[in-house]
């Protein structure tokens, strides 16, 4: 009965979307467009009925549905991402709390939980990430200067811009929270900065330290396995690229208080953050989704409004600059997925199976669709002390003039 009800609801959704959904018996739903081929409808609808927020992704992992021949998975998912707030019939929204699953307590981002959550993703295998990232191994959105630009060049441009935004130069005491595989730390050190970098991933730390040593920069770069809450000292600049998504709403106050505490007078913080609409963030912040279960345990994407409110309530910092480039993230993810597919034989040789392939294929395409549709955005935010704002400027007038501010 639950599966039959799920099919009725899904068919109603399909009829609102420009896709072509084909059942095994030849039944076609949807308004035409990219093809969604349903392979095992009974199994698919049973999964969706059992877990409405997670079941569709699990059905893809299991092979219950797939993109039709000649259809790109990212293009297929984009129309759904663009209509995510309108697809569920309004009368059913009042039952949301009954079907939302809660995040397991083990995924709370306590110091112990955060270490476990980060390890679950970033310690999978350095070889895995090397197989689909650019040669610099930068695992965050690139910033393209022109169409068709080489991914490695666009990643370098992103790194240089955020270092400029933070004012990093010769003699700067820089703290990087979340070092990845060391690309930003190496670039900053080559500018003459003294870099302290922290991570909770042992795999990342080992490779990043080797890359720093190979670059001859060990005298300028100190990389540590350390939680942001345990860092002490004073820094002229703090940079963190797409790490806030792993903090969790419960710990946003603690995270931003740490930035405020560690920043030297007159310094600045530069954050690259994935962002979503505030109302959508409020609607999903207390539920447990497919991405949290299979890709980023404990994660939550903030809104710009949530960042502003947390800063105002818990710190003396404000956002002074906000540069958005969500379309560039869609392109970055498209490149990563293409590399992942091309290099799958090498990834499989590392011990990853077909379910893993479908899981990551869905993750990359699902994320790409979010940015391509505008459901998600990414920005480089510069934070400074309130007393550094000049003249009659105030937070509201400053943010209103920023690129992308109207999408908040």
Check residue 397 and give its pLDDT. Answer: 38
- Predicted confidence at residue 406, as pLDDT, reads 32
Q: Same domain for 234 and 147?
A: yes
Domain boundary among 80, 99, 118: 99
Residues 158, 252, single domain; the answer is yes
**194-199 and 263-276 beta bridge pairing:** unpaired
Residue 86's pLDDT is: 67
37 token code pair: 């081929």
Q: What pLDDT does residue 398 have?
A: 42
State mean pLDDT over 184-213.
98
**Closest by Cα among 327, 314, 313, 307 to 381:** 307
Both tokens assigned to 347 = 């990834």
Q: Give me the domain span that covers residue 25.
A: 2-99
What is the pTM assigned to this prediction? Answer: 0.92
- Do 288 and 216 lie in a common domain? yes
Same domain for 111 and 91: no
Give which of 315, 296, 244, 314 is closest to 275, Cα–Cα.
244
Looking at residue 88, its pLDDT comes to 63
CATH classification of the domain holding 184? 3.40.50.150
Residue 87 has a pLDDT of 66
pLDDT (average), residues 263-278: 98
In DSSP notation, 74-112 reads: HHHHHHHHHTHHHHS-HHHHTTHHHHPPPPPGGGS-SHH
Point out the domain boundary residue: 62, 77, 99: 99
Considering its fold, how many domains does the chain have in total?
2
Q: Mind listing the pLDDT tens digit for each residue in 8-31?
A: 989 999 999 999 999 999 999 999
DSSP one-letter code for 171: T
Say whether both 292 and 231 belong to one domain.
yes
The model's confidence at residue 84, banded by pLDDT at 50, 70 and 90, is confident
In the numeric block, the tokens 């590392």 are attached to 350
The pLDDT value recorded for residue 287 is 82
Per-residue confidence (pLDDT) for residue 14, from 0 to 100: 92
- Whether 70 and 192 map to the same domain: the answer is no
Residues 295 and 148 in one domain: yes
CB 278 within 8 A of CB 304: yes
pLDDT score recorded for residue 272: 98
Q: Which two tokens stand for residue 382?
A: 């510069």
Provide CB contacts within 8 A for 171, sequence distance 6+: 192, 193, 194
% of residues, the chain, pLDDT over 70: 91
Share of the chain above pLDDT 90, in %: 85
């Amino acid at each position: 009965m639950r599966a039959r009800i799920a099919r009725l609801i899904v068919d109603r959704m399909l009829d609102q979307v420009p896709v072509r959904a084909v059942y095994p018996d030849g039944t076609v739903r949807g308004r035409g467009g990219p093809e969604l081929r349903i392979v095992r409808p009974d199994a698919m609808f049973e999964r969706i009925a059992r877990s409405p927020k997670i079941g569709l992704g699990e059905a893809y992992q299991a092979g219950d549905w797939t993109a039709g021949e000649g259809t790109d998975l990212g293009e297929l998912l984009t129309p759904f991402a663009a209509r995510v707030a309108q697809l569920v019939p309004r009368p059913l929204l009042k039952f949301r709390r009954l079907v939302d699953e809660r995040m397991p307590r083990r995924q709370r981002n306590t110091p112990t939980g955060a270490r476990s959550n980060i390890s679950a993703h970033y310690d999978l295998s350095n070889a895995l990430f090397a197989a689909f990232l650019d040669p610099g191994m930068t695992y965050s959105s690139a910033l393209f200067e022109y169409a068709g630009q080489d991914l490695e060049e666009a990643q370098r441009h992103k790194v240089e811009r955020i270092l400029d935004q933070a004012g990093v130069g010769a003699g700067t005491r820089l703290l990087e929270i979340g070092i990845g595989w060391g690309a930003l730390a190496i670039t900053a050190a080559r500018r003459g900065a003294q870099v302290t970098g922290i991570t909770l991933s042992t795999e990342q730390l080992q490779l990043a330290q080797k890359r720093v040593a190979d670059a001859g920069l060990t005298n300028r770069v100190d990389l540590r396995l350390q939680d942001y809450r345990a860092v002490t000292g004073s820094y002229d600049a703090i940079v963190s690229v797409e790490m806030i998504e792993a903090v969790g709403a419960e710990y946003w106050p603690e995270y931003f208080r740490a930035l405020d505490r560690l920043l030297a007078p007159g310094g600045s913080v530069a954050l690259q953050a994935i962002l979503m609409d505030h109302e959508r963030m409020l609607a999903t912040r207390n539920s447990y989704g497919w991405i949290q279960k299979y890709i980023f345990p404990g994660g939550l994407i903030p809104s710009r409004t949530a960042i502003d409110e947390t800063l105002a309530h818990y710190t003396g910092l404000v956002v002074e600059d906000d540069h958005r480039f969500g379309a560039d993230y869609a392109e970055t993810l498209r490149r990563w997925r293409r590399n992942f597919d091309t290099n799958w034989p090498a990834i499989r040789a590392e011990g990853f199976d077909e379910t893993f392939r479908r899981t990551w294929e869905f993750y990359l395409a699902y994320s790409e669709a979010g940015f391509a549709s505008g459901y998600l955005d990414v920005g480089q935010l510069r934070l400074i002390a309130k007393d550094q704002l000049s003249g009659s400027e105030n937070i509201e007038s400053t943010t209103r003039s920023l690129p992308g501010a109207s999408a908040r």
